[in-house]
Amino acid sequence: MKQVTILGLGIMGTSLGLALKQLKSPPRVIGNDIQYDAAQQASKLKSIDRIERDPTVAVSGSDLVVVATPVGATSELLQTIAAALPDGCVVTDIGSTKREIVKQAEACLPSTVGFIGGHPMTGPTSAGVDGPSASIYVGAVYCLTPTANTPPDAVKVVVSMVHEIGARPYFVDPSEHDGLVAGISHLPYLLSVALIKSIATEPGWREMSALAAGGFDTGTRLSASGAAMFADVLATNGDNVARHLDRLMEELRSLKLKLLNGDPGLRRDLEEAQQLRQQWDQQRRRDADQ
């Protein structure tokens, strides 16, 4: 890769530039963001070599174009750049849902370019940083969602980029991806939203807010950011999230009955949850060590 264009310079896009510029033979990185401030910030951090205000110009001469905008802006941006993409160029995105984006990308991009959807399972919280950092991608699982229409060369180029920034490629069908992330990412976020909305609008909130500490902090933390981003994401994944929500509400109904009946089985439920969580924690550590 001689030249990479990053469209969208939020934390993930800027971090990608930082990771690419740290390589032994770094590509030239062209950056673009609808907010010029964001592009300037990325330039100042040396995440990108050059700002280009027009996305159709930004993609000119690039081997790889990474769309790192919010999910709601991706399709329109792909349509905007479609005619300007150089022949043989590879396009990918990092959106949190893949079904719709992959469908729209395959519909609107010319056959002279290859597209493969992507979704790095990381962010500032996961990586323990509070701003752009090359380390966000290190050790992270990076979903790639090729279809029957994806040219093998496009897969190769993006897999190579994923390896170079220290992440681990994970191949998954776009629809399956959306079902999986609905459970492990969108559902926890929505629970956090429901918790703060439910408790902070109660008559007793004034007193509760004074007493709330670590547990409430952890339980509502996910609701603290990304409302606009998640609104876009959920708009493309409502069916999957609703399905997981049904199962969860079934579980809550069962717990509620046990609470009201003083059922000793409640203790087993809590212990089972503790074990399941510990097993996942152990698995994560093993995976990270590999």
Contacting a second copy within 115-144 (CB under 8 A): 121-123, 125-127, 140-141, 143
* Options 26, 27, 191, 290; binder of a second copy; rule CB under 8 A: 191
* Options 24, 44, 111, 201; binder of a second copy; rule CB under 8 A: 201
* Options 38, 66, 161, 172; binder of a second copy; rule CB under 8 A: 172
Confirm if 67 and 7 have CB atoms less than 8 A apart: yes
Q: What is the DSSP string of 116-142?
A: EEEEES--HHHHT-SS--GGGGTT-EE
* Options 214, 285, 289, 290; binder of a second copy; rule CB under 8 A: 214
Q: How far is the CB of 236 from a second copy (least distance, A)?
A: 10
- Scanning 3-11, 54-62, 151-159, 274-282 for contacts with a second copy by CB under 8 A, the matching segment is 274-282
| 224 forms part of the interface with a second copy (CB under 8 A) | yes
| 199 forms part of the interface with a second copy (CB under 8 A) | yes
| 202 forms part of the interface with a second copy (CB under 8 A) | yes
Kindly report the backbone phi and psi dihedral angles of residue 28, in degrees, each rounded to the nearest multiple of 5, phi listed first: -70, 135
| 112 forms part of the interface with a second copy (CB under 8 A) | no
| 271 forms part of the interface with a second copy (CB under 8 A) | yes
Q: Which of residues 24-63 bind a second copy (CB under 8 A)?
A: none
Which CB, 82 or 191, lies closer to a second copy?
Answer: 191
Structure tokens at 6: 């990053």
| 260 forms part of the interface with a second copy (CB under 8 A) | yes
Which CB, 153 or 202, lies closer to a second copy?
Answer: 202
| Length of the chain as a residue count | 290
Q: How far is the CB of 282 from a second copy (least distance, A)?
A: 11
| 235 forms part of the interface with a second copy (CB under 8 A) | yes
* Options 22, 35, 266, 290; binder of a second copy; rule CB under 8 A: 266
| 223 forms part of the interface with a second copy (CB under 8 A) | yes
| 247 forms part of the interface with a second copy (CB under 8 A) | yes
Give the span between the Cα atoms of 40 and 218, in whole angstroms: 34
Give the span between the Cα atoms of 105 and 39, in whole angstroms: 24
Kindly report the backbone phi and psi dihedral angles of residue 286, in degrees, each rounded to the nearest multiple of 5, phi listed first: -60, -45
Kindly report the backbone phi and psi dihedral angles of residue 4, in degrees, each rounded to the nearest multiple of 5, phi listed first: -120, 135
Identify any residues that bridge with 275 across adjacent strands, giving them in sequence order: none
Give the span between the Cα atoms of 210 and 120, in whole angstroms: 38
Number of alpha helices (DSSP H) and beta strands (DSSP E) in the chain: 14, 8
210, burial (CB in 10 Å: exposed 0-12, middle 13-18, buried 19+): exposed
Give the span between the Cα atoms of 144 and 147, in whole angstroms: 10
